[in-house]
Each structure stands twice: as C-alpha cells, then as structure tokens.
Amino acid sequence: MSLSNEQVGHIARLARIALTDAGIESTRAKLNDIFALIEQMQAVDTTGVAPMSHPQELATRLRPDVVTETDRREAFQKIAPQTEAGLYLVPKVIE
Amino acid sequence: MINASLVELRRALDARQLSSVELATLFLDRIAALNPQLNAFITVDRDGALAAARAADARIAAGDAGPLTGIPLAHKDVFCTEGVLTTCASKMLSNFVSPYDAHVVSLLKAAGAVSLGKTNMDEFAMGSSNENSFYGPVKNPWDATRVPGGSSGGSAAAVAARLAPIATGTDTGGSVRQPASFCGITGIKPTYGLVSRYGMVAFASSLDQGGAFGASAEDCALLLSAMTGFDERDSTSLERPAEDYAAALTAPAAGKPLDGLRIGLPREFFAEGMADGVRTAIEAALAQYRALGATTVEVSLPNAKLAIPAYYVIAPAECSSNLSRFDGVRYGHRAAEYTDLADMYAKSRAEGFGAEVKRRILVGTYVLSHGYYDAYYLQAQRLRRLIAEDFKAALAQCDVIAGPTVPNTAWALGEMADDPVQMYLSDIYTIAVNLAGLPGLSHPCGFDAQGLPVGLQLVGDYFSEARLLATTHRFQQATDWHRRRPACAQ
C-alpha cells in the first residue's frame, strides 16, 4: 500500500492538522514506511480469533447517578486561551 | 548519601541523622549542578519540594512517617500536578498549569514523598530516545553523546545520575523498561490496571500504565507499593487490595535463594538481532540466575514478531482519538492567527504538536477511517489476542520469562532521529508485554564493550509483580550491577 499526496491531505484534514504542500510530501514518505511495517499484519489468518480490546476483559463499572464533582469552573477557565463571562470563546461558527 | 537506598534513607530520617529538608536540598543542588548538561528535568519545583519536606519533617517528628515520608522523588511530566506546569514535553501543553493532581501524584503526596519536579520525556510519551521533546533531548548519564532511551528518559536519567533516588514513569510499549535498560537502573511496569491512569495524560489508553524507577528492585518495590490501588476515576482500574511489594522481598529462602524458580527463555528473543555485548551480558546473568538455584527452560512466543505492526496500529489509533481533545479551546496552545474555527483547530494543532506526534495521529486517523477499521484495528486486536495466548502458554511452562530488554545498548543522539521505523523495531522485546497487559521489569545486568549498561527483562503472569521484584532482589543481593554509577554520581 502506498498513500498519495491527496490521501495524506485528506487524512490531515480529518485530523485537523494543517500541512503545507512540502509538509505533505515529507510526511507521505514517512507514513508509507510506517504502513509498510504495519502491512506485515495482513499475512496472518486470524479467522475465528476474537479481537482483544483489553487485557482484563472488565465489564464497565456502574456507579450511583449522583453528583460527585464540585464546581471548579474558575480554576479550569483560568488556563483557557480565551474566556468571557464563564464561556469559552471561539471564532464565530454560525452567521 | 546520594547513593543510599530508600531503606537507608528511611533509617537516617527516622534516626534524625538528617532532615527531609536537608535531603531535598541535597538533590535540588545536584539538579541545579547537573541538569544543565543532562536536561533530565523540564520543571524543578524547589519551593514546593522544600514545603513538602518541611511537612514531612513534622510528620517524622510526630511519629507519623510511612515508608516514603520525606523521600525525594521526580515525576514524569505526563502526570498532572496541581499548580505545577505539566507539559508532556509538548509545545501544546507548554503553558498548562494543571488544576488537579493525577491519582499517582496524590497517593505519593499523601505518603509524604517530596516531589522535586517534573522530568523530560518524549512528547506525549511517543518515542524511544527522548529526542521527541519540545524541551530538547535528555543526555544519557553514562555517555552524554548518547540517548537515555524513552519515553521516560528524563526519569531514568535522573535516577541514574542520582538527581532523585526514585522516579515515576509510564510504559505504553516499553517506556519504563527500555530507558531503565539504557541508563543502568531498575524499572517496573506493573500489570495493566494496577496503577490508575487518572491524571496521566493519555496516549494509548488500552496500553498506558504507570511504573516505577529506582536503583534496585527494593527501591522500586517501595515506590510501586505506594502507586498502586483501585481508583474509581479510571474505568480500567482493577478492584484489588493493594500489595506490599517490599514485604515480599524479605521472605526467607530454603536452600539457594532461587531454588525451584523456572525461568523461560523465549527462543525468538535469542534468535537474531541482538548486539554481541548484550548477548554476552544476558548469558552471564542467566548463568548467575542458575547459580542462585533457578533452572532455565526454552519457551516459544511464535507471534511475538507481530507485536510491532499490531502496536503501530493500536497505539496510533488510540492516540488519534485521545489527542483530538487538544483543540486550543479549553487549555493548551492556540494559534495566534486564524480565519475560522476549522482553521484555528488545524493551525493550533500543527503548531502545538511535534513531527512524531503528528505522524502517529495521521496513522491513527487513517486506520480508523471509514472502510479501514476491520482491516487494521480489528486485525491488530486479533493479533493482540494471539500474542497474549502465546504468553499464557509460555507461562504455563515457567514462572518468569527472561531475555534482553532491548536488542542493543544506548545509541548515539541523532542516530535514528530521522528513521522512525528503525526506532520502532528496537522495541521488539518490550511491546508484546504491553499488548498482553502483563507486568515486566528491567534490571541492570552488565555492560557492553563501550561501557554502556545492559538490561535484562523479566516478564511474569498477571499480578506477579511481587515475584518479579523478589527474583530481581535475590539477583541484586548476589551481584553489584545495580550499584554501579556513572561518573557524575560517584
């Protein structure tokens, strides 16, 4: 498998990472090396093998539906790039 | 004093031969003197350390000291520390002063340990050389032209250079064991689920696990005992009673120290690709283990070679998901100029992440994208089960598995910096252990012809940390590799 520049550009858009044209070219070469390594997996027949997501196969734990956290909005917003009146500011999304 | 064991430090503190403030000052002064060269620390918290040391001295005076009260340590900068910069060695978090403590950090604070600061690492724990740090590479204390290993390279270098007696780390594919091997110290990654991941900046959640560094198994046992335990804030935390790993070391042996211990040697780990100096040191260590009463038996891990490709699907996939949280909105780096929201995301992330982190996000995004999930992620998870079953079969024939931690010793800075795949391949012996979720430990067992440390890895069944530590302890009682120090810590 070999990725094209168009595919690399598409993945970068999905990942929300800006890449320049020169960046796409150099990234493509490195990604293709990585995918060449990954492709070794495809030679193995895993029919009938159940996927393992987790070493301990835990069931998801449940807890009572009660409030356990305190309101720490000020502490959390102090480290935000831009806030106003308790809100996080981002560029206008809806005209 | 800098080379004293934790047991010796405890004795000196309890006997008031020195105070915790004096001990913290000793290590803070060493950091000030040696860190400019080694770059093992990103943040040194002198004021916080001295305040914690004063509190520890009060506890000791009140007769309320535990095993770690007043003992200095360093935290890998992947652990959130309230009020202290937590960067994960990334520009993305270079302004992030955490508003809360990781579970591990709060446990160690409660134990009275004194945090000296935060250690350098590969950005977001992605790397095997510590060269992927926004703050520059860490130098190996044994040879400053070489890498310390990664991703917990700062913690390993700090312990090896005696800038701290013990340090925390994390291990997703070998990030505790490999730098322990390169720096000539002991490091343990416990069973997945024993150490809470709460407040540990996430990389690959089904593999990430906190671990401990020390000069010896005994020091690691004391630190690990204080780090483990159930935490409801981590959905993968195991509901098991905490163990006292240090107490397990003192069990008396009948006959030779390791009589009855069966050590499995995976044929695949001894086949090829191992450097001569590593092979010589490992074989000598195995001879020592046999002299202590252990027997060795050949075992097989036929699917071990698939661990690297499977890992480089699973880890990037989980990383692309975990790192999607870094959007320049709630915390972390935001680009100075942008045209709209999508542009703000793309530029903030392009500026905030380094090259290796971006590559792994891109690989993960691709393997999880529409139409590829089954071929990559599910296939990798199926291989993961085959690898775990290999270990299960091998561990039915032996008590612990032994082999080299890494095929080589520390390589030169820059040697593999431009060849990520070559670096990935060096993690061949450690990655499979993370995929299976088993505990693994690396301990020093000799030096190669260049005088660089060689590490031996022990792997055991789930929850066999006490056995791994006790086995290493017996080895260390009969040998002195763990007491060898680089010139800067003589």
> In whole angstroms, what is the distance from residue B21 CA to residue B53 CA?
5
> In whole angstroms, what is the distance from residue B416 CA to residue B467 CA?
35
Do the beta carbons of residue B124 and residue B326 sit within 8 Å?
A: no
* Residue-level pLDDT at B170: 98
Considering only CB atoms, which chain B residues are within 8 Å of A15?
A: 320, 349, 361-362, 365
Residue of B nearest to A55 (CA): B437
* Residue-level pLDDT at A57: 75
The residue type at B44: V
Strand duo B440-447 + A83-84: pairing: unpaired
Phi and psi torsions of A88, nearest 5°: -85, 130
Considering only CB atoms, which chain B residues are within 8 Å of A27?
A: 358-359, 362
Q: For residue B285, is pLDDT > 80? A: yes
Is B206 noted as a catalytic residue in this protein?
Answer: no
Question: A34 and B313: CB-CB below 8 Å?
Answer: no
Average pLDDT over residues B132-160: 98
Q: For residue B148, is pLDDT > 90? A: yes
B94 touches chain A (CB under 8 A): no
Band of residue B188 on the pLDDT scale cut at 50, 70, 90 = very high
Q: For residue B250, is pLDDT > 90? A: no
Candidate list B98, B129, B175, B225, residue with the active-site label: B175
> In whole angstroms, what is the distance from residue B234 CA to residue B232 CA?
5
> In whole angstroms, what is the distance from residue B381 CA to residue A27 CA?
26
Do the beta carbons of residue B399 and residue B131 sit within 8 Å?
A: no
Considering only CB atoms, which chain A residues are within 8 Å of B324?
A: 16
* Residue-level pLDDT at B140: 98
Strand duo B262-266 + B400-404: pairing: parallel
Largest distance between two CA atoms of chain A: 57
Q: For residue B141, is pLDDT > 90? A: yes
Distance from CA of A31 to the nearest CA of B (A): 7
B91 touches chain A (CB under 8 A): no
**Other Cβ atoms within 10 Å of B108 Cβ, number:** 25
Distance from CA of B121 to the nearest CA of A (A): 22
* Residue-level pLDDT at B273: 87
B320 touches chain A (CB under 8 A): yes
CA atoms within 13 A on the CB side of B260: 5
Strand duo B41-44 + B72-76: pairing: unpaired
Three-class SS string for chain B? CCCCCHHHHHHHHHCCCCCHHHHHHHHHHHHHHHHHHHCCEEEECHHHHHHHHHHHHHHHHCCCCCCCCCCEEEEECCECECCEECCCCCHHHCCCECCCCCHHHHHHHHCCCEEEEEECCCHHHCCCCCCCCCCCCCCECCECCECCCCCCHHHHHHHHCCCCCEEEEECCCCCCHHHHHHHCCEEEECCCCCCCCCCECCCCCCCCCEEEEECCHHHHHHHHHHHCCCCCCCCCCCCCCCCCHHHHCCCCCCCCCCCCCEEEEEHHHCCCCCCHHHHHHHHHHHHHHHHCCCEEEEECCCCHHHHHHHHHHHHHHHHHHHHHHCCCCCCCCCCCCCCCHHHHHHHHHHHHCCHHHHHHHHHHHHHCCCCCHHHHHHHHHHHHHHHHHHHHHHHCCCCEEEEECCCCCCCECCCCCCCHHHHHHCCHHHHHHHHHCCCEEEEEEEECCCCCEEEEEEEECCCCHHHHHHHHHHHHHHCCHHHCCCHHHC
Distance from CA of B179 to the nearest CA of A (A): 23
Residue of A nearest to B85 (CA): A79
H or E, element range at A19: none
Question: A41 and B192: CB-CB below 8 Å?
Answer: no
Residue of A nearest to B361 (CA): A15
Q: For residue A56, is pLDDT > 90? A: no
Band of residue B254 on the pLDDT scale cut at 50, 70, 90 = confident
Distance from CA of A11 to the nearest CA of B (A): 6
Candidate list B76, B118, B189, B347, residue with the active-site label: B76
Minimal Cβ distance to A16: which of B303, B349, B425: B349
Question: A34 and B420: CB-CB below 8 Å?
Answer: yes
* Residue-level pLDDT at B271: 86
Rg (CA), chain A: 22
Q: For residue B427, is pLDDT > 90? A: yes
Q: For residue B8, is pLDDT > 80? A: yes
Phi and psi torsions of B153, nearest 5°: -65, -35
> In whole angstroms, what is the distance from residue B68 CA to residue B224 CA?
11
Band of residue B165 on the pLDDT scale cut at 50, 70, 90 = very high
Q: For residue B267, is pLDDT > 90? A: yes
Three-state DSSP at A54 gives coil
DSSP 8-state assignment for residue A83: E
State percent of chain B over pLDDT 70.
100
Is B151 noted as a catalytic residue in this protein?
Answer: yes
Where would I find the H helices in chain A? Answer: 5-14, 21-38, 73-77
Three-state DSSP at A94 gives coil
Q: For residue B268, is pLDDT > 90? A: yes
Candidate list B20, B98, B151, B216, residue with the active-site label: B151
Between the two ends of chain B, the Cα-to-Cα distance in Å is 11
Interface probe with B: pick from A3, A4, A11, A27, most Cβ of B within 10 Å: A11
Q: Which of B394, B315, B388, B391 is nearest to B356 (CA)?
A: B315
Reading across the β-sheet that carries B72-76, which strands appear in turn? B41-44, B114-119, B72-76, B166-170, B210-214, B186-189, B440-447, B453-460, B400-404, B262-266, B295-299
> In whole angstroms, what is the distance from residue B235 CA to residue B233 CA?
6
* Residue-level pLDDT at B255: 85
Minimal Cβ distance to A55: which of B331, B376, B436: B436
Q: Which residue is it, tokens 């449940």? A: A62
> In whole angstroms, what is the distance from residue B105 CA to residue B201 CA?
13
* Residue-level pLDDT at B407: 96
Question: A46 and B238: CB-CB below 8 Å?
Answer: no
Do the beta carbons of residue B127 and residue B353 sit within 8 Å?
A: no
Q: In this structure, is the dihedral angle defined by the CA atoms of residues A6, A7, A8 and A9, taken in order, positive or negative?
A: positive
Considering only CB atoms, which chain B residues are within 8 Å of A34?
A: 312, 359, 363, 420-421, 424
**Cis link prior to B151 (omega < 30° from 0)?**
yes
Considering only CB atoms, which chain B residues are within 8 Å of A16?
A: 324, 327, 342, 345-346, 349
Q: For residue B217, is pLDDT > 80? A: yes
ipTM for the predicted complex comes to: 0.96
Band of residue B248 on the pLDDT scale cut at 50, 70, 90 = confident
| Mean pLDDT of chain A, nearest integer | 92
Band of residue A64 on the pLDDT scale cut at 50, 70, 90 = very high
* Residue-level pLDDT at B209: 98
